[in-house]
Amino acid sequence: MAISRRDFLGLLASASISQGLAGPVSAGSARRFVFANNSPYDSLDPHTVYDAGRAGPRLNLYDGLYRYVDNPPKLIPWLAESHGVSDDRKSYIFRLRPGVVFHDGTPVTAQDVVYSIDRILALNQGPASLYRDVVRPGSTEARDPLTVVFNLAGPSAIFMATIPDIAVLNSSLMKRHTNENDWAAPWLAKNEAGSGSFELTGFDPARGWTAKRSIEHFGGFGTNPIDELEFRNVMETNTRVLGLMRGDFQGSDGYMPYDQIQRLRKSQNIQVIEQEAMRVFLLMLNNAAPPLDDVHFRRALAYSFDYDGFINGVMNGSVSRNPSPLPNTMWGTPRDVKVFNYDLDKASEELKQVKSPIRSLNIRALAGFSESEQAAILFQSALKKVGVESKVTLAPWPVIAKSLDSLDTRPDIVPIWRSAFYLDPNSWVGEGYGSRYEGQKSLAYYRNPQFDKLLDQALLSSDQGERQVLYESMTRMVTDDAASIFVYNSRWYGPYSAKASGVRYSPVNYGQDFRWVSMEA
């Protein structure tokens, strides 16, 4: 069943939802780049904020030992010149690039890397879930000013893939702003302590943040690099589109509704860069909350979503059906995975097998992300046809992210994207559904002991063939159990000023790593 734009607008008009509008915008200028971001910035701390919507500070103000670039993503040495691994796969030795300095001129040393990983573990937020099982606090050592050694608790199949996510901080600056045991968290939420390609010049959580080019950055710059960079909070899609067409903004969200991308393609001021992404759109289900803890109820929900109507009607066929948590292009994706299609008769049959009372569900959609809003309204309408009531509310991503921290505040359903953070199937399957990752990064609170056993094996193995078989098995499990409702894999349509060149899109940096970009006058 396909749903027309007219039908969808009728659903939208009848829904009781609201959102705020962005404030006024100002014109851009030569060598100045304004990125209109659809997620507000409540914090700039790269050790507590770890999502695609607010990745700008981490990618532009900070450096890691290695860095992901291009598509398909590849790792290149960055703060580190090289690395080695011990025979038992428990020690990773990195040799730092000499002569690198932080923005205040302080040299970057191995001790800063030690401080940074210890801080990540101590705060236990953001990227901490990547390291807390394999890196013990105090186990990382600075062998000399330019040599750092990570001594792991055991072999880890994903450790090297996650190395870019250790944003290295200026430890001496951080310690000057530390109050007792707070690791300077209140200070870093509004400031920066990095060595990245840009230096922070201003931060206003109501508006965004600004930075200037760090001229002495070790990576150098090409011809006509960006001198001033601004990430501005612009929640409303039409405001972002009009601002791009007028030249107020030089870049924005690469996952806008396709009709808006087509609109932008008609403007002489805009270029649209198209790339295959690794960003799965799904309806996140809280598997721990009755009646969603019943597999029959979850399967009923999976049969109640109009996949073809959403993809062909709302998305105008601009994305590809993706019936599992893994992007179709990622290794570890089984070809025989169960596919749920829109079938209200099957949904009704599954509902008959649900033993616990069926209550009204809360669906929390992302304000400023029209596909999330549209999916929520479409799903609400379909659920009503099988006798399941629901309420749709909108909230900005920081509010939703905070609600995911606790089962007491976690919504029943969130239409959301699972983006790439590192190039391994664990980024989607393991983190999304493994009990060890429960918290904000978990998509489901799935709690399947058999799944967890396979995940433990996959995280230890050094054999990619073995790991592929394991992740295929885990993917079949969560798909058959309808741990989430899997809809599509995105294509990225990056809208940029026609004066910009050198954009290096990677599914792991979402087109927001601006050190490579040049701007014509």
pLDDT in tens, 192-220: 999 999 999 999 999 999 999 999 999 99
- Residue 404's pLDDT band (boundaries 50, 70, 90)? confident
pLDDT at 442: 74
Residue, of 79 and 329, whose pLDDT is higher: 79
pLDDT at 440: 57
219-248: average pLDDT: 95
304-321: average pLDDT: 94
**What is the model's pTM?**
0.86
Contact criterion met (CB below 8 Å) for 484 and 444? yes
Tokens for 44? 């700039």
pLDDT at 339: 95
Q: Give pLDDT tens digits for 45-91.
A: 999 999 888 999 999 999 999 999 999 899 999 999 999 999 999 99
138-166: average pLDDT: 97
Exposure of 236 in the CB half-sphere (CA atoms within 13 A): 12
Q: Give pLDDT tens digits for 107-131.
A: 999 999 999 999 999 999 989 989 9
- Residue 28's pLDDT band (boundaries 50, 70, 90)? very low
Query: Does residue 144 have a pLDDT over 80?
Result: yes
pLDDT at 10: 43
Alpha-carbon gap, residue 209 to 268, rounded angstroms: 28
Of residues 281, 334, 339, 292, the one with CA closest to residue 483: 292
CB neighbours (10 Å) of residue 71?
A: 18
Query: Does residue 7 have a pLDDT over 70?
Result: no
Query: Does residue 9 have a pLDDT over 80?
Result: no
Q: What percent of the chain has pLDDT over 90?
A: 83
29-42: average pLDDT: 87
Exposure of 105 in the CB half-sphere (CA atoms within 13 A): 0
Query: Does residue 422 have a pLDDT over 50?
Result: yes
pLDDT at 329: 85
∠ Cα 317 321 325 (to 5°): 145
Asked which of 318-322, 342-346, 349-353 is least confident by mean pLDDT, the reply is 318-322
Identify the H or E element spanning 59.
helix 56-61
Query: Does residue 5 have a pLDDT over 70?
Result: no
pLDDT at 25: 35
Query: Does residue 265 have a pLDDT over 50?
Result: yes
- Residue 2's pLDDT band (boundaries 50, 70, 90)? very low
- Residue 438's pLDDT band (boundaries 50, 70, 90)? confident
Query: Does residue 405 have a pLDDT over 70?
Result: yes
Residue, of 343 and 10, whose pLDDT is higher: 343
Query: Does residue 3 have a pLDDT over 50?
Result: no
Contact criterion met (CB below 8 Å) for 434 and 63? no
Query: Does residue 4 have a pLDDT over 50?
Result: no
